[in-house]
Amino acid sequence: MEPVDVDVDVLVVGGGIVGIYQLHRVLEAGFTAALIEAGNGVGGTWYWNRYPQARFDSESYTYAYLFSEELFDEWEWQEHFAAQPEIERYLNHVVDRFDLRRHIRLGARVTAARFGDETGTWTVRTDDGTETRARFLVAATGLLSVPFYPAVPGRDDFGGESYHTGLWPTEPVDFAGKRVAVIGTGSSGVQLIPAIADVAASLTVYQRTANWCTPLNNRPITPDEQSALRADFESIRHTLYTSASGFLHVPHDRGAFEDTPEERLAFFEGMWNSPGFSKMTSNYTDILTDPAANDEWCRFMIGKISAIVDDPETRAKLIPDHRYGQRRPPFVTGYYETFNKPTVSLVDLKTTPILQVTHDGIETADGLREFDIIVWATGFDFGTGALNRMGITGRGGIALVDEWADGPSTYLGVVCRGFPNLFFPGGPHGATGNNPRYAGDQVDFVTGVLVHAREVGADVIEVSEAAEERWSDMVNTYASTSPFSESSYFFGSNVPGKPVRYLLNPGGRPKLLSTIARAVRDGYGDFELSRSPARTGSDR
Ligand code: NA7
C-alpha cells in the first residue's frame, strides 16, 4: 500500500488567538499547514464578540502573545484592558507580521472531520463543499465560541432586530432612539449595558442571576508604563509563567481576620480600586475558601453598590445571592451607575420569568414590553460546544459527541484516546485563569509532540488510556476544590441537558506545566506512537 498523500501536514481549525499561534508554530517547525476559519476575518472570540465595549478583562499585555519579544516591543497597547477593535487589529497585525495570511482560508466552517484508520489521516469537510486531507488536525475552536440561546417560546417571532453578543454583526448596530432589551447580565451583558444606555430611548435589562460586578479600573497605558513594560519583558514572562493562574497580580500574604476591621476596610477599598482580576488573585488568601472572609468582602461590595444605585428596589435586585467567586465575576465600567438613568429599568427574571417573546416584544407575568431591538447576552455552550459540533469521528468511526456524552475525558485538555492525530489546545480541562497563557503552553506542547513523532518516524500519535485517565481523574476529583459552584457555566449547567461536569483544570498552571514538563522529560511516553497501516504496508 502506498503512503497517503495529504494536502497539508497540519490543518488548524479556528483563527483565534490559539489557532493563529498554532499555525505559526507548526510552520516554524517545518510542517506544511493551513488554517480554516468560519468567520470572514481572523480573531475568533475577538472577531465574533464585537459588541460595543467588548474588551479584555485580563491586562492586554498579559493576554497577548509573549513568544516574540520583537512583537511585544512593537505593539503598544493603548489601554490596560484593550477594547475589541484594538484586539482585532493586533491579531491581524500578528497574522501579517508572521506571514500567515496565505495559509488561512476564511468563511469556511467545518461540518465533518473523519479519521481514516488505514491512512492515519484526517479528512475534513467544510460547508463550502471542500475536503482537505491532513495528517494532523488541530481544533483550536475555543471555549466560548458557540453562542447559547435559551429556549424561550416565540424567540423567532420577534419583528424587530435581534442580536447575540457572541455573533455580533460587522456593521454597527444603531441603538440611538430605540427601545432596547438586553437579556443576560454575565460578563458580556454588563460590558454592553452602559454603552446602550448612553444612546437608547429606553433600555430594559432582564436579569436572572445578579453577579458580583466590581470595577475593571481600566485606563490608558502611559508612556512611562509603555517603557517599563518593554524593559520588563523577561520578568513579565517569568511571572506569568510561574503564577498560579497566569496573571501579574501579586498574591496577598494574609487572611481576612489577621487584619483589624479598620485595616480590612482599607484593604477592601484598595481591592475595589485595583485592576480586573486582582480582586480574586490578590485578595485575602482565604477569600474564596473561608465563607466568613467571603461574607466580609460581599458586605463591603453591597455597601458600594448601595452607595451607587439610588432606587432601593433596583438596588435590592442587583445584590447577588451567591458568594463571591462561585461564578465567574464580571468587571465593569459605570455598570451600577447606569441604573440611575430614568430610561433604564431592571426586570428580575426570578420573580417575573419571561413567558414568551412576541412579534412586538417580551412578555413576563407583569405584561408585555415592546422593543425595537433585543440583545441576547445569554452566553455560550462552554468548553465542549464547538468540538461536539464539528462532526468529528475517530477510530472505528466513533463520534466524539458520543464519546463525550457524559462529559469530556482528556489528557492535559489537549487530546483524547480514540482520536489519534487530533489535538485541541485551548480545549476543556486545560485552563483556569488567563486562558491564552495556558493555551500557549498547550500549543507549544502539541508542536513538541509533532516534532518528536517526526523524529522517530511515527505518523500516528495517540494518548495512552492510562494518561488520559490520570488527567481526567485529577479534573473530576479536584473539581470540588474549585470556588465555582455547579450552577456556573464552567460546569456546563447553563445549557439544559448538558452533563454537569467540570470543564476547567482545577490544578491550574502549576499542574499543567508540571505534567507537560514530565511528559517531555519522559520522551512523550504518555503517547503511543506508531506507523499507519498504509505507511507500514508501503515499507514492506
Ligand atoms: P455568561 O457569563 O454565561 O452570561 C450569560 C447570561 O445570560 C447570564 O446572566 C445568564 O443568567 C443569562 N441567561 C442564560 N440563560 C438564560 C435564560 N434562559 N433566561 C434568562 N437569562 C439567561 O455569558 P457572557 O457572554 O456574559 O460571558 C461569557 C464569558 O465571556 C465570560 O465569562 C468571559 O470569559 C467572557 P444565569 O447567570 O445563568 O442565571
The CATH number that applies at residue 514 is 3.50.50.60
The confidence band for 2, taking pLDDT boundaries of 50, 70 and 90, is low
Per-residue model confidence as pLDDT tens digits over 473-492: 999 999 999 889 998 999 99
Residue 7 has pLDDT above 70, yes or no: yes
The atom of ligand 1 lying closest to the CA of 489 is 3
How far apart are the C-alpha atoms of 243 and 431, rounded to whole Å? Answer: 13
Residue 537 has pLDDT above 90, yes or no: no
pTM of the model: 0.97
Per-residue model confidence as pLDDT tens digits over 316-325: 999 999 999 9
Q: Residue 379: CB within 6 Å of ligand 1?
A: yes
Based on the fold, state whether residues 247 and 367 are members of the same structural domain: yes
Residue 314 has pLDDT above 80, yes or no: yes
Of all protein residues, the one whose alpha carbon is nearest to atom 29 of ligand 1 is 187
| Phi-psi region at 30: left, alpha or beta (left = phi > 0; alpha = psi -120 to 50) | left
Query: What residues make up the domain containing 362?
Result: 182-376
Based on the fold, state whether residues 322 and 359 are members of the same structural domain: yes
The confidence band for 244, taking pLDDT boundaries of 50, 70 and 90, is confident
- Residue 154 in any domain: the answer is no
Give the residue, out of 182, 216, 355, 378, with the most ligand 1 atoms within 8 A of its beta carbon, to mutate for a pocket test: 378
Tell me the one-letter amino acid at 458: A
Based on the fold, state whether residues 470 and 360 are members of the same structural domain: no
SS3 416: coil
The atom of ligand 1 lying closest to the CA of 208 is 39
| pLDDT at 536 (0 to 100) | 81
Residue 117 has pLDDT above 90, yes or no: yes
With beta carbons less than 8 A apart as the criterion, state whether 158 and 180 touch. no
Residue bearing cell 464547538? 386
Q: Residue 191: CB within 6 Å of ligand 1?
A: no
Number of domains in the chain: 2
- Residue 152 in any domain: the answer is no
Phi, psi of 180 (to 5 degrees): -120, 140
- Residue 173 in any domain: the answer is no
Tell me the one-letter amino acid at 390: M
The atom of ligand 1 lying closest to the CA of 379 is 23
Based on the fold, state whether residues 358 and 394 are members of the same structural domain: no
Based on the fold, state whether residues 368 and 400 are members of the same structural domain: no
- Mean pLDDT to the nearest integer, 392-415: 98
Per-residue model confidence as pLDDT tens digits over 35-70: 999 999 999 999 999 999 999 999 999 999 999 999
Domain final residue pick, 354, 376, 398: 376
Instruction: Say how many Å lie between the CA of residue 267 and the centre of ligand 1.
Output: 30
Residue 333 has pLDDT above 80, yes or no: yes
| pLDDT at 535 (0 to 100) | 82
Residue 5 has pLDDT above 90, yes or no: no
| pLDDT at 538 (0 to 100) | 63
How far apart are the C-alpha atoms of 442 and 43, rounded to whole Å? Answer: 19
Residue bearing cell 491532513? 134
> What's the grid cell of residue 124?
475534513
The atom of ligand 1 lying closest to the CA of 150 is 18
Residue 540 has pLDDT above 80, yes or no: no
Based on the fold, state whether residues 204 and 341 are members of the same structural domain: yes
Of all protein residues, the one whose alpha carbon is nearest to atom 28 of ligand 1 is 379
Domain final residue pick, 376, 398, 419: 376
Based on the fold, state whether residues 448 and 528 are members of the same structural domain: yes
- Residue 222 in any domain: the answer is yes
Q: Residue 183: CB within 6 Å of ligand 1?
A: yes
- Residue 76 in any domain: the answer is no
- Residue 163 in any domain: the answer is no
Residue 186 has pLDDT above 90, yes or no: yes
Based on the fold, state whether residues 319 and 458 are members of the same structural domain: no
Of all protein residues, the one whose alpha carbon is nearest to atom 2 of ligand 1 is 186
Based on the fold, state whether residues 340 and 396 are members of the same structural domain: no
Based on the fold, state whether residues 398 and 480 are members of the same structural domain: yes
- Residue 175 in any domain: the answer is no
> What's the grid cell of residue 250?
501579586
- Residue 330 in any domain: the answer is yes
Based on the fold, state whether residues 280 and 190 are members of the same structural domain: yes
Q: What Cα–Cα distance (Å) separates residue 6 from each residue in 100, 103, 325?
A: 20, 15, 47
SS3 124: strand
Q: What angle do helix axes 508-521 and 233-242 make, rounded to 10 degrees?
A: 90
Based on the fold, state whether residues 467 and 414 are members of the same structural domain: yes
CB contact set of 55 (below 8 Å; sequence gap of 6+): 79, 81, 82, 83, 84, 87, 191, 216, 218
Q: Residue 149: CB within 6 Å of ligand 1?
A: no
How far apart are the C-alpha atoms of 76 and 226, rounded to whole Å? Answer: 7
Q: Residue 276: CB within 6 Å of ligand 1?
A: no
Identify the weakest region by mean pLDDT among 1-10, 94-103, 126-135, 168-177: 1-10
The atom of ligand 1 lying closest to the CA of 151 is 18
Per-residue model confidence as pLDDT tens digits over 126-173: 999 999 999 999 999 999 999 999 999 999 999 999 999 999 999 999
Q: Residue 435: CB within 6 Å of ligand 1?
A: no
- Mean pLDDT to the nearest integer, 121-129: 97
How far apart are the C-alpha atoms of 520 and 291, rounded to whole Å? Answer: 40
* Mean pLDDT, the chain, integer: 96
Give the percent of the chain with pLDDT over 70.
99
> What's the grid cell of residue 152?
424561550
Give the residue, out of 190, 332, 494, 500, with the most ligand 1 atoms within 8 A of its beta carbon, to mutate for a pocket test: 494
Q: How many CB atoms lie within 10 A of CB 356?
A: 14
Residue 502 has pLDDT above 80, yes or no: yes
Q: Residue 453: CB within 6 Å of ligand 1?
A: no
- Mean pLDDT to the nearest integer, 488-505: 95
With beta carbons less than 8 A apart as the criterion, state whether 121 and 2 touch. no
| pLDDT at 4 (0 to 100) | 72
Of all protein residues, the one whose alpha carbon is nearest to atom 12 of ligand 1 is 184
Domain final residue pick, 376, 396, 423: 376
Residue bearing cell 483544570? 505
